[in-house]
Amino acid sequence: MRHHMLTLLTMLLLLLGMNPVSAGETSHVVIDHQEMQQILDDFLAEQSLLLPQVELRLTSVQFPAPYKVPMGRIEHQLIPSRPGVLGSRRISIMTRVDDQIVSNQSIRVEIEAMAEIAVAKEGLRRGTMLTDNLMEMRYQDISRLSEPIFARADAVGKIVKRTVRLGQPLQGQQVEYPPLVKRGERVVIEVHQAGMTLSAVGEARQDGREGESIKVLNTGSSREVISRVVAPGLVRVEL
């Protein structure tokens, strides 16, 4: 009788298009290469929204073997080997079922990141102040660059910290604004207190850019004070 009932149940499940699960067998879902590709494509699409000036392209992918996970609420989290995905050679795919981690796989990738960036139009020596005619915009792969400059305006007026060769990309860590105050320069020291502004003459002991704090010698009192650079030739003591 029991065998007859099991046979009827199996036939009913088959008629309904459902696969019967044998006793002791665990239901599971297979994450195959096609699904991994879709998960990866969705992830890169999300990253592209965070980098609107960059076009991300997959040039090579090596997937792990298909893997099984239990049935339930399945979620995938992708973690690139480098923050922000640019330059990543590996992306981990962490799979959760009902909020529990059940798998952690690794996908080897080659990601091309194409963007228009500023490059040196000629060889630039250290200390050169960048002007519009010293650079040009070029569309190229930036996946190996850490701080590419996407607009001329972000570089014009800055000075080169080290030599840059012809055609070499300009990067944020290679340039900086020139100091508003130079070491040995005569400056005005301002102090704001109780609604009044007091001033004195001083001598800068360090180079300083806007907002930086530097040592300044008050030439009247021969005392050294820490002051914040406000403008060319002007520093302010913060009380």
* Eight-class DSSP state of 83: T
pLDDT digits (tens, 9 = 90+) for 129-188: 999 999 999 999 998 898 999 999 999 999 999 999 999 999 999 999 999 999 999 999
Residue 97, domain member (yes or no)? yes
pLDDT digits (tens, 9 = 90+) for 187-222: 999 998 878 888 999 999 999 998 999 999 999 999
Model confidence at 127: pLDDT above 80? yes
User: Into how many domains does the chain fold?
Assistant: 3
Say yes or no: 131 and 163 in one domain: yes
| pLDDT grade for 100, boundaries at 50, 70 and 90 | very high
Q: How much is the pLDDT for 24?
A: 46
Say yes or no: 99 and 74 in one domain: yes
Model confidence at 108: pLDDT above 80? yes
Q: How much is the pLDDT for 83?
A: 85
Residue 106, domain member (yes or no)? yes
**Residues 70, 97: contact at Cβ < 8 Å?**
yes
pLDDT digits (tens, 9 = 90+) for 31-72: 999 999 999 999 999 998 988 889 998 999 999 999 999 999
Domain finish residue from 65, 88, 113 = 113
- CATH code, domain carrying 131: 3.90.1210.10
Residue 22, domain member (yes or no)? no
Residue 90, domain member (yes or no)? yes
| pLDDT grade for 23, boundaries at 50, 70 and 90 | very low
Model confidence at 84: pLDDT above 50? yes
**Residues 120, 144: contact at Cβ < 8 Å?**
no
Helix or strand run (H / E) with residue 48: helix 33-50
Model confidence at 81: pLDDT above 90? yes
> Which domain range does residue 62 map to?
30-113
- CATH code, domain carrying 226: 2.30.30.760
Higher pLDDT, 17 or 224: 224
How many residues does this entry show for the chain?
239
Say yes or no: 172 and 211 in one domain: no
Residue 42, domain member (yes or no)? yes
Q: How much is the pLDDT for 7?
A: 52
What's the whole-number mean pLDDT along residues 67-84? 93
Residue 52, domain member (yes or no)? yes
* Alpha-carbon distances of 135 from 97, 119, 153, 156, 169, rounded to whole Å: 52, 6, 11, 9, 9
Bridge partners, residue 120, by sequence: 135
In this structure, which amino acid lies at residue 239? L
